[in-house]
């Protein structure tokens, strides 16, 4: 173990109340001049009676400095990818998002575009969409791409919608009612087809970490509409018989949809087409370096074969040799998944990222991500007490991420994965990702050291894990009572089983607390 | 402050190492001692209780005298109160039951017991569904779905509760073999009842993720899907246990929790049927079976449901069997594998292969049966 660099870290604490609670009646951020005199009429009277509010909206009333201060304080209380070594959040591909790309999307030429502008005044963005579609065709090996889906889950949904439409078109929608997936694919690979009315059959892994071809053959048949499969699975295990899987489904008449959300270890190495996929999707806000969440938003590249192009969401962007234009036509299309062309800020960032790297650069991304993960894996398995890797005996290799288990640590010391997670905050790391549902690996931990992290970054993270697990064996109370470097220690763990307990707006909060 | 009930069955497990297949009854116990058996339940219980040491300020153990719990608490320095005193040094099933009743009266927030299926039966008979219960596996026979995977897992559930986290629970089956028959090479398991077991004791983490359906919710979804797919004219034999009976609850029909009921066209046509009755219906070719595996074990047939005899199962065939299970129960089964042990190897072979286990509304898991 190298010398531990434990930072003297403490989370910010502002004790900041909800902005509604800071409201001072009468306070204003902007005082608008009275327009009545110039307009000759009270502006309110120009609004049709049916559109007028009966009462004023209950908005917080604050001046600009108070508003700015409030949100800056909240931002300080938040740990984000840009100022923590965000290795722990596996399956999310937390990589560096180049800041120069923010200049492109904040450029008024893009920021002030209106989606209803005539095509001839928006040739630039249409060209970006068109060109990036050509790039994504090359990366996937498939024949047509839509960027309309506003996130990975919606990308899978969009593919499920295309699949449904495909079977309707063939007149077999009533027969082809079942989707096959694997329990270690992303849960949305089950949920999205279910939303489209398909039944779902999930395959469980064997001792080698992926399902057997026998299990697949046992459930495939004339009812099979298709298979939705993530590869590598959530665990970083690559299913080496994926082509056999696809062949079995194809022989039964079904289509293959590849979930390429976890693509970071495959750039330049594996394409959806060679796997035999008919459809796939990528998350531009993950492997393609457009940021997640607050600076987001998300965007999926939905890629399909030529046969399925007519089902893609509309509109599509086309090029007639001279100019780019928006094509709304498409009677077979699934219609709109989302408004307009999708999250174009994500498309611009991803386009810039790909162009800055080129073909060789992209392959280097995957190779570095795999190298980083394997370096980390070696250290973790050799040096962190009480940790193990599932299916390690039969499947010792991993690509870009690993699902570890703290089961031994937990049995030896009573310190659970969740306790380790709490203590990591004391080292200045954000919470790690445990696992998608259901937890078939006990006490799970899924880190993903993408290509953005240096050897020193990885060492700092692993050293913290080593120290925490040593403490678990020598002073378990210390880990069980963590975190110490946060404004609050442990929150009571609670969960909502009943939707009526859910409270996502101020209005509902007041109602649930008897204030309204 | 967690009121933790604790009952150690000091003699549980003594028959196992000396190949006696259980320790029910005084004669067997004497024989076990003769063969050199040593008490193990206390050791297992200690492993569980050690998980609670960091939480000793936020709990009090309510337990029985001496080796039934008191000694252990004193050894580990856990605060404890005695609620039952065994009359003599040799404890019996009656002591387990009396201690359990005393703990249900308090009532304990959770009752931990160290033992096997026999102990589970005694506890179940005394407390029923009055308080949540969890078994520390320490017996020879661990067929019931009321045990944690390991003693440490059982202790961890109590630790979670001691730290103030509320836990939901679900009804789980208590089954036990008839030991005399078992010793003679016959497996004759019976379903004795159900108890309230904290959810996912072996997969604590899953409770910490919010937003997922509870087991009760999953069973409602399963029942709704089944309801839509019941075929007119067919006779559905609904197996024992609280999961399988979800369809009876959905249809508003009375049911025998520990038996097999017959449903046709959404009506109950026979309750708690025998093997003979099933065989009669099997002859019509219209019999179908709806079963749920035993949690933690994975047995579909041959444990607690001998009405489904080899000849009945052979007549219905693998395709006539619908298996349902909440996902959490599947995960509680080692290797996620179903098992059959109906008594005839030839029929067992027919029933092996993959089942599409119904886990939700239109949601199946492909699970191997070995």
Distance from CA of B49 to the nearest CA of A (A): 11
Contact predicate A435/A421, CB 8 Å: no
Range of the domain at A238: 103-354
Check whether residue B282 and residue B197 sit in a common domain: no
List the single residue in B152, B206, B211 with the smallest CB-CB distance to A411: B152
Residues 6+ apart with CB under 8 A from B308: B237, B239, B260, B275, B278, B289, B291, B301, B342
Cα A300 to chain centroid, rounded: 9
Residue of A nearest to B326 (CA): A438
Torsion of CA A436, A441, A447, A448, to 10 degrees: -70
Range of the domain at B337: 215-369
Strands, sheet with A178-182, edge to edge from the N-terminal-most edge strand = A144-146, A300-304, A279-283, A255-259, A224-230, A178-182, A199-203, B363-369, B353-360
Residues of chain B whose C-beta is under 8 A from some C-beta in A? 50-51, 54, 150, 152-153, 155-156, 159, 163-166, 168, 202-212, 214, 217, 327-328, 331, 336, 353-354, 356, 359, 361-368
| pLDDT over threshold 80, residue B106 | yes
For residue A239, is it left (φ>0), alpha (ψ between -120 and 50) or beta? beta
- Asked if residue A62 belongs to a domain, the reply is no
- Asked if residue A420 belongs to a domain, the reply is no
Tens of pLDDT, residue by residue over B203-242, are 443 333 444 567 788 899 999 999 999 999 999 999 988 8
Nearest to B66 by CA among B44, B37, B88: B88
Mean pLDDT by 10 residues, chain A (516 residues): 72 93 94 82 84 89 97 91 92 94 96 95 97 98 97 96 98 97 94 97 92 96 97 88 96 97 94 96 95 80 98 97 96 94 95 97 98 97 95 88 94 90 94 89 94 97 97 94 89 70 86 82
Cβ-Cβ contacts under 8 Å between A and B: the total is 101
Distance from CA of A94 to the nearest CA of B (A): 21
> What is the domain count for chain B?
2
CB contact under 8 A, A218 and B354: yes
Q: Which residues of A touch B159 (CB under 8 A)?
A: 414
Q: Which residues of B touch A494 (CB under 8 A)?
A: 165-166, 210
B134: helix, strand or coil? strand
pLDDT of B196 reads: 92
Pull the structure tokens for residue A381: 């398995």
List the single residue in B150, B156, B205 with the smallest CB-CB distance to A434: B205
Distance from CA of B185 to the nearest CA of A (A): 32
- Asked if residue A375 belongs to a domain, the reply is no
Distance from CA of A499 to the nearest CA of B (A): 9
- In angstroms, the CA A497 to CA B216 distance is 11
Q: Which residues of B touch A476 (CB under 8 A)?
A: 54
User: How far apart are the two ends of chain A, measured CA to CA in Å?
Assistant: 58
Is the link from the previous residue into A315 a cis peptide, with omega within 30 of 0? yes
| Last residue in a domain, options B180, B207, B234 | B207
CB contact under 8 A, A414 and B159: yes
Tens of pLDDT, residue by residue over B233-276, are 999 999 988 899 999 999 999 998 878 999 999 999 999 999 99
B155: helix, strand or coil? helix
Residues 6+ apart with CB under 8 A from B286: B233, B234, B235
Chain B interface, mutation test: which of A216, A228, A414, A440, most B Cβ atoms within 10 Å?
A: A414
Check whether residue B30 and residue B147 sit in a common domain: yes
Check whether residue B241 and residue B191 sit in a common domain: no
- Asked if residue A117 belongs to a domain, the reply is yes
Contact predicate A61/A28, CB 8 Å: yes
| pLDDT over threshold 50, residue B181 | yes
State the pairing for strand pair B169-177/B189-198. antiparallel
Check whether residue B64 and residue B173 sit in a common domain: yes
Pull the structure tokens for residue B213: 């359906």
- DSSP lists the bridge partners of residue B367 as B355
pLDDT of A503 reads: 85
Where do runs of H (alpha helix) occur along chain B?
26-34, 41-50, 70-76, 93-105, 117-127, 151-162, 179-183, 204-207, 215-229, 246-251, 275-282, 310-316, 327-331, 345-351
Contact predicate A287/A93, CB 8 Å: yes
Q: Which residues of B touch A496 (CB under 8 A)?
A: 210-211
Chain B interface, mutation test: which of A182, A198, A497, A498, most B Cβ atoms within 10 Å?
A: A497
- In angstroms, the CA A194 to CA A228 distance is 12
pLDDT of B305 reads: 82
Residues of chain A whose C-beta is under 8 A from some C-beta in B? 183, 190, 194, 198-204, 211, 214-215, 218-219, 410-411, 414, 416-418, 434-435, 437-440, 442-444, 476-477, 480, 490, 492-497
Strands, sheet with A444-445, edge to edge from the N-terminal-most edge strand = A388-389, A404-405, A444-445
Pull the structure tokens for residue B73: 């608490």
A99: helix, strand or coil? coil
Chain A interface, mutation test: which of B56, B354, B361, B369, most A Cβ atoms within 10 Å?
A: B354
* DSSP code string of A9-42: -------PPPGGGG--TT--S--PPP-HHHHTS-
Distance from CA of B96 to the nearest CA of A (A): 28
* DSSP code string of A423-452: HHGGGT-PPPP--SSS--SSSEE-----TT
CB contact under 8 A, B54 and A477: yes
pLDDT of B369 reads: 95
Check whether residue B163 and residue B87 sit in a common domain: yes
pLDDT of B207 reads: 37
Where do runs of H (alpha helix) occur along A45-92?
64-76
Check whether residue B313 and residue B362 sit in a common domain: yes
Q: Which residues of B touch A440 (CB under 8 A)?
A: 331, 336
pLDDT of B206 reads: 37
- Run of H or E including A413: helix A407-413
Pull the structure tokens for residue A43: 């502006």
Check whether residue B192 and residue B222 sit in a common domain: no
| Mean pLDDT computed over B109-126 | 94
Distance from CA of B210 to the nearest CA of A (A): 5
Contact predicate B140/B15, CB 8 Å: yes
| Mean pLDDT computed over B169-173 | 84
Cα A416 to chain centroid, rounded: 26
State the pairing for strand pair B235-238/B287-291. parallel
List the single residue in A439, A476, A494 with the smallest CB-CB distance to B203: A439
Which residue's entry shows tokens 């190495």? Answer: A269
pLDDT of A139 reads: 98
pLDDT of B187 reads: 52
Check whether residue B221 and residue B83 sit in a common domain: no
Distance from CA of A406 to the nearest CA of B (A): 11
Residues comprising chain B, all counted? 370
Nearest to B60 by CA among B5, B131, B127: B5
pLDDT of A497 reads: 66
pLDDT-based confidence at residue B35 (cuts at 50, 70, 90): confident
pLDDT-based confidence at residue B182 (cuts at 50, 70, 90): low
- Asked if residue A359 belongs to a domain, the reply is no
* CA angle in degrees (0–180, nearest 5) for A248-A251-A253: 115
A268: helix, strand or coil? coil
Distance from CA of A487 to the nearest CA of B (A): 20
| Last residue in a domain, options B191, B207, B223 | B207
> Any idea what the CATH number is for the domain that residue A276 is in?
3.40.640.10
Mean confidence (pLDDT) of chain B: 87
Check whether residue B278 and residue B360 sit in a common domain: yes
CB contact under 8 A, B354 and A411: no
- Asked if residue A72 belongs to a domain, the reply is no
pLDDT-based confidence at residue B180 (cuts at 50, 70, 90): low
- Asked if residue A334 belongs to a domain, the reply is yes
List the single residue in A200, A219, A411 with the smallest CB-CB distance to B150: A411
- Asked if residue A481 belongs to a domain, the reply is no
* DSSP code string of A492-510: PP----SGGG---SHHHHH
Between B206 and B43, the higher pLDDT residue: B43
> Any idea what the CATH number is for the domain that residue B107 is in?
3.40.50.10330
| Last residue in a domain, options B162, B182, B207 | B207
Residue of A nearest to B205 (CA): A443
Check whether residue B253 and residue B190 sit in a common domain: no
pLDDT of B21 reads: 57
Nearest to A401 by CA among A232, A245, A220: A232
Chain B interface, mutation test: which of A176, A181, A199, most B Cβ atoms within 10 Å?
A: A199
- In angstroms, the CA A326 to CA A319 distance is 9
Q: Which residues of A touch B150 (CB under 8 A)?
A: 411
pLDDT of A5 reads: 65
Q: Which residues of B touch A199 (CB under 8 A)?
A: 362-364
Question: Which class for A196: exposed (0-12), middle (13-18), buried (19 or more C-beta within 10 A)?
Answer: middle
Report in angstroms the alpha-carbon separations of A512 from A19, A214, A502: 18, 52, 9
Distance from CA of B35 to the nearest CA of A (A): 32
Torsion of CA B329, B332, B334, B335, to 10 degrees: 60
Q: Which residues of B touch A211 (CB under 8 A)?
A: 366
Residue of A nearest to B331 (CA): A440
* DSSP code string of A281-304: EEETTTTT-PPPGGG----EEEEE
Residues comprising chain A, all counted? 516
> What is the domain count for chain A?
1
Check whether residue B80 and residue B197 sit in a common domain: yes
pLDDT of A1 reads: 47
ipTM over 0.90: no
Tens of pLDDT, residue by residue over B191-203, are 788 899 987 544 4
- In angstroms, the CA B231 to CA B109 distance is 44
């Amino acid at each position: 173990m190298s010398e531990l660099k434990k930072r003297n870290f403490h989370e910010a604490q502002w004790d900041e109340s909800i902005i509604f609670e800071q409201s001072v009646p009468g306070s204003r951020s902007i005082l608008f001049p009275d327009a009545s005199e110039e307009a000759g009429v009270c502006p309110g009277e120009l609004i049709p009676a049916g559109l007028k509010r009966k009462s004023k909206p209950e908005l917080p009333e604050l001046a600009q400095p108070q508003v700015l201060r409030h949100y800056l304080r909240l931002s300080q209380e938040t740990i984000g990818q840009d100022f923590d070594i965000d290795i722990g959040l596996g399956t999310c591909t937390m990589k560096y998002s180049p800041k120069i790309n923010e200049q492109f999307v904040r450029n008024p030429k893009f920021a002030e575009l209106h989606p209803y502008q005539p095509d001839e005044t928006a040739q630039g963005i249409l060209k970006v969409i068109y060109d990036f579609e050509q790039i994504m065709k090359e990366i996937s090996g498939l024949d047509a791409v839509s960027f309309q889906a506003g996130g990975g889950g919606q990308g899978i949904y969009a593919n499920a919608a295309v699949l449904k439409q495909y079977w309707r078109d063939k007149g077999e929608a009533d027969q082809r009612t079942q989707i096959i997936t694997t329990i270690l694919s992303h849960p949305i690979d089950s949920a999205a087809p279910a939303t489209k009315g398909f039944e779902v059959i999930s395959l469980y892994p064997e001792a080698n970490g992926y399902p057997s071809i026998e299990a697949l053959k046992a459930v495939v048949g004339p009812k099979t509409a298709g298979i939705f499969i993530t590869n590598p699975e959530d665990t970083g295990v690559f299913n080496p018989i994926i082509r056999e899987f696809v062949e079995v489904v194809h022989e039964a008449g079904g289509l293959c949809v590849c979930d390429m959300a976890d693509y970071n270890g495959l750039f330049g190495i594996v394409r959806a087409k060679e796997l035999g996929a008919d459809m796939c999707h990528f998350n531009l806000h993950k492997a393609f370096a457009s940021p997640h969440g607050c600076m987001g938003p998300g965007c999926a590249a939905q890629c399909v074969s030529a046969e399925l192009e007519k089902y893609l969401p509309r509109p599509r962007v086309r090029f007639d040799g001279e100019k780019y234009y928006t094509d709304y036509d498409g009677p077979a299309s699934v219609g709109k998944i989302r408004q307009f062309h999708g999250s174009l800020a994500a498309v611009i960032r991803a386009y810039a990222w790909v162009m800055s790297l080129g073909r060789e650069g992209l392959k280097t991304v995957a190779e570095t991500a795999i190298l980083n993960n394997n370096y980390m894996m070696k250290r973790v398995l050799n040096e962190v007490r009480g940790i193990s890797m599932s299916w390690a005996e039969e499947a010792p290799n991993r690509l870009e991420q690993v699902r570890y288990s703290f089961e031994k640590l937990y049995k030896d010391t009573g310190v659970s994965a969740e306790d380790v997670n709490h203590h990591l905050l004391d080292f200045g790391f954000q919470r790690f990702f445990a696992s998608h549902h259901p937890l078939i690996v006990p006490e799970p931990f899924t880190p993903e050291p993408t290509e953005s992290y240096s050897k020193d970054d990885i060492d700092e993270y692993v050293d913290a894990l080593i120290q925490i697990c040593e403490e678990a064996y020598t002073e378990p109370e210390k880990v069980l009572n963590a975190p110490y470097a946060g404004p609050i220690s442990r929150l009571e763990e609670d969960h909502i089983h009943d939707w009526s307990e859910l409270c996502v707006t101020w209005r509902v909060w007041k109602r649930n607390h008897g204030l309204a | 402050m967690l009121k933790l009930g604790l009952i150690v069955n000091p003699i549980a497990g003594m028959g196992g190492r000396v190949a006696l297949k259980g320790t029910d009854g005084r004669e067997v116990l004497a024989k076990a001692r003769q063969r050199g058996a040593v008490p193990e339940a206390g050791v297992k219980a200690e492993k569980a209780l050690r998980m609670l040491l960091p939480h000793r300020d936020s709990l009090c153990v309510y337990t029985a005298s001496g080796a039934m719990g008191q000694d252990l608490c004193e050894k580990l320095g856990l605060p404890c109160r005695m609620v039952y005193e065994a009359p003599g040094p040799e404890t019996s099933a009656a002591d387990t039951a009396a201690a359990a009743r005393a703990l249900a009266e308090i009532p304990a927030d959770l009752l931990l017991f160290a033992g096997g299926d026999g102990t589970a039966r005694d506890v179940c008979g005394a407390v029923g569904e009055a308080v949540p219960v969890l078994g520390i596996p320490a017996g020879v026979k661990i067929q019931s779905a009321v045990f944690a995977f390991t003693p440490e897992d059982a202790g961890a559930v109590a630790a979670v509760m001691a730290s103030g986290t509320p836990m939901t629970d679900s009804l789980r089956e208590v089954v036990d073999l008839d030991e005399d028959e078992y010793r003679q090479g016959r497996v004759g398991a019976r379903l004795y009842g159900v108890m309230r077991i904290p959810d996912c004791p072996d997969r604590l983490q899953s409770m910490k993720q919010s937003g997922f359906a509870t087991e009760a919710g999953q069973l409602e979804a399963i029942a709704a899907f089944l309801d839509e797919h019941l075929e007119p004219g067919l006779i559905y034999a609904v197996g024992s246990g609280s999961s399988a009976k979800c369809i009876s609850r959905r249809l508003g029909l009375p049911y025998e929790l520990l038996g097999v009921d017959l449903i046709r066209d959404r009506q109950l046509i026979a309750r708690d049927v025998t093997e003979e009755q099933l065989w009669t219906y099997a002859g019509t070719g219209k019999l179908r079976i709806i079963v749920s595996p035993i949690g933690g074990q994975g047995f579909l047939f041959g444990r607690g449901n001998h009405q489904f005899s080899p000849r009945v199962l052979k007549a219905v065939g693998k395709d006539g069997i619908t298996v349902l299970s909440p996902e959490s129960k599947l995960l509680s089964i080692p290797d996620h594998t179903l098992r059959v042990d109906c008594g005839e190897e030839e029929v067992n072979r027919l029933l092996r292969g993959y089942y599409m286990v119904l886990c939700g509304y239109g949601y199946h898991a492909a699970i191997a049966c070995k």
